Structure 1
């Protein structure tokens, strides 16, 4: 699945670049059947530089309102396999009662 998504990104014009930098398209796998991979003691385990393994569930679901808002719309009762909290609970924490905010105007 990851290889297929990487091909889709390349077909859309994505090329290399720096981690966490701007991208033409970025497709992340948030969860796959509750599989927990590359986590230890409730924290994601991976190196920040170079190639990183696929971490499941995605390590920053709970910190990204732009991910949680659509997740809340389609699966409010989805439960994070490591944190054991629902999308609804994660949204309340991440949004801090707000409906999201613009991080940077373009």
Structure 2
């Protein structure tokens, strides 16, 4: 079983319900949720919007391989009503966004997936909930703990 950290974000509709629904989908399609952060409000990152985000990070144990896991998260986003994925660094409002942050200590770079998530350590809305549930977890590339990485950007 792999221990995987997923970042969840929503800025449309009933945001709290969206997060709860995503968590249920994850438990059904991906694996057992081991830990879940509090929900955090944040401003949009990388684009302008009047809609703030509600974010969370969870840890899930799964038998899925990384690309299969990515496929499942994209299916969940679509099931929840997401119509388009951000591309070329252009972000937009979304009912649900699920990012693969860490997959054990795996370092991977393919056209479809980069692990660990290449922008995670720049985003307070990721690092704050991640440091809440896994403060001593070490980033496999940066070799700092999640708490240390959060401190650098706070």
Which residue, 68, 71, 74 being the options, matches 1:6? 74
Runs of 4+ off more than 4 Å: none
Partner of 1:36: 107
Which residue, 38, 50, 53 being the options, matches 2:112? 53
Residue by residue over 1:12-40, the C-alpha shift from the partner in whole angstroms, topping out at 9 and shown as x without a partner, is: 100125432222210001000111012xx
Aligned residues: 83
Structure 2: gaps of 5 or more residues: 1-68
Could you tell me how far apart the structure 1 residues matched to 2:85 and 2:117 are?
Answer: 20
Partner of 1:22: 93
TM-score by length of 1: 0.72
Could you tell me how far apart the structure 1 residues matched to 2:142 and 2:117 are?
Answer: 12
Q: Give the 5 Å matches for 1:82-97.
A: 82-95=141-154
Q: CA RMSD in A?
A: 1.4
Alpha-carbon spacing, 1:18–1:88, altered in 2? closer, same or farther (3 Å): closer
Could you tell me how far apart the structure 1 residues matched to 2:129 and 2:86 are?
Answer: 26
Alpha-carbon spacing, 1:17–1:4, altered in 2? closer, same or farther (3 Å): closer
